[in-house]
Amino acid sequence: MANEMRDKGIAIANQAVDADNAGNYKDAIDKYGKATEYLITALKYEKNPVTQKTIRDKCNEYLSRMDQLKKGQEPKAAAAGSGGGKGKEESRSDDEEDEPEPEPLTAEQLAAAEKEMDEDLAKLVGMQSVKDNMKRLCKQLSLDIKRKQEGQKTLDAIRHMIFTGNPGVGKTTVSRLVAKLFHQLGVSSKDTVVEVQKGDLVAGYVNQTAMKTYKKIKEARGGILFVDEAYQLTQALMKGQTDFAGEAIDEMMKVMNNSGRKSTTFVFAGYKKEMDEFVTYNAGIESRIKYRFHFDDYTVKELVVITNLKLESKGYKLTPDAARDMELVIDKNTNADLRSKYNGRLIDNLLQWASDEMNSRLPLDASGDALITLHKSDFEKAIKRFATARPPTKADPTLLGGYEVEKHLSEWGLDQYSQLFARAGYRQLYDLLSLSSEKDVRALGVSKDADVNRTLQLVERLDEQHRVLSLKMDATFISLDGAADISAWLEQEGLTKFVELFVKNEINFETLADLTEDHLKEMGVSEIGPRIKLLKAIEVWRRERDIAKKEAIRAKMNVMNAPPPVLRDASLTDTEKLRSKLEKAGQ
| pLDDT tens track for 3-27 | 677 778 887 887 887 777 667 778 8
C-alpha pair distances (Å), 140 with each of 5, 42, 114, 156, 309 = 55, 53, 11, 12, 31
Output the pTM of the full model.
Answer: 0.54
Question: Residue 241: its pLDDT value, please?
Answer: 61
* 29 and 140 co-located in one domain: no
Q: Give the residue among 314, 351, 313, 311 at the shortest CA–CA distance from 329.
A: 351
**Is 537 a member of any domain?**
no
**pLDDT digits over 44-81, tens only?**
777 666 567 778 878 888 888 887 777 664 443 333 34
Residues 129 and 278 in one domain: yes
Q: Has residue 495 been placed in a domain?
A: no
Residues 56 and 168 in one domain: no
CATH number for the domain that contains residue 36: 1.20.58.80
Residues 142 and 237 in one domain: yes
Among 206-215, 284-293, 487-496, 513-522, the least confident range? 206-215
CA 549 to chain centre: 28
| Whether the Cβ atoms of residue 485 and residue 508 lie closer than 8 Å to each other | yes
The 10s digit of each residue's pLDDT in 546-564 is 766 666 666 666 554 333 4
| DSSP-derived secondary structure letter, 345 | H
Stretch 276-299: mean pLDDT: 87
At 372-394, the pLDDT tens digits run: 999 999 999 999 988 877 665 55
Would 102 be classed as within a structural domain?
Answer: no
Exposed/middle/buried for residue 387 (C-beta within 10 Å: 0-12, 13-18, 19+): exposed
| DSSP string covering 45-87 | H---HHHHHHHHHHHHHHHHHHHHHHTT---TTTTTT-SSS--
Residues 6 or more apart whose CB falls under 8 angstroms from that of 230 comprise 268, 269, 270, 275, 278
Share of the chain above pLDDT 70, in %: 79
Residue 580 lies in a domain: yes
549 lies in a domain? no
Residues 123 and 216 placed together within one structural domain of the fold: yes
Based on the fold, state whether residues 156 and 283 are members of the same structural domain. yes
CATH of the domain at 327: 1.10.8.60
Mean pLDDT to the nearest integer, 183-189: 86
pLDDT given at position 99: 55
Q: What average pLDDT is seen over the chain?
A: 79
Q: What is the reported pLDDT for 433?
A: 77
Give the span between the Cα atoms of 128 and 135, in whole angstroms: 11
Mean pLDDT lowest for which of 171-180, 217-226, 382-391, 482-491?
482-491
Spatial distance between the Cα atoms of 207 and 425, rounded to a whole number of angstroms: 10
DSSP H/E element including 284: helix 283-287
At 226 the pLDDT is 96
pLDDT band at 84 (very low <50, low <70, confident <90, very high): very low
56 & 114 share domain: no
- pLDDT score recorded for residue 443: 80
- Residue that is last in its domain, among 295, 316, 339: 295
Are residues 214 and 135 part of one domain? yes
Q: Are residues 162 and 268 in the same domain?
A: yes
Kindly state whether residues 323 and 276 are assigned to the same domain.
no
Distance (Å, rounded) from C-alpha 417 to C-alpha 236? Answer: 13
Q: Which domain holds residue 417?
A: 399-473
285 and 360 assigned to the same domain? no
Residue 17 lies in a domain: yes
The reported pLDDT for the residue numbered 94 is: 43
Q: Which of 413, 447, 473 is the last residue of a domain?
A: 473
Residue 220 lies in a domain: yes
Q: What is the CATH number of the domain that holds 270?
A: 3.40.50.300
Per the domain annotation, does 379 fall within a domain? yes
Local confidence band at 578 (pLDDT 50, 70, 90 cut-offs):
confident
| Structural domain count, the chain | 4
Greater confidence (12 vs 299) lies with 299
- Mean pLDDT of all residues in 318-337: 93
Mark which of 473, 490, 508 sits at the end of a domain: 473
Grouping H, G, I as helix, E, B as strand and the rest as coil, residue 487 is helix
Distance CA 276, CA 307 (A): 32
Same domain for 291 and 151: yes
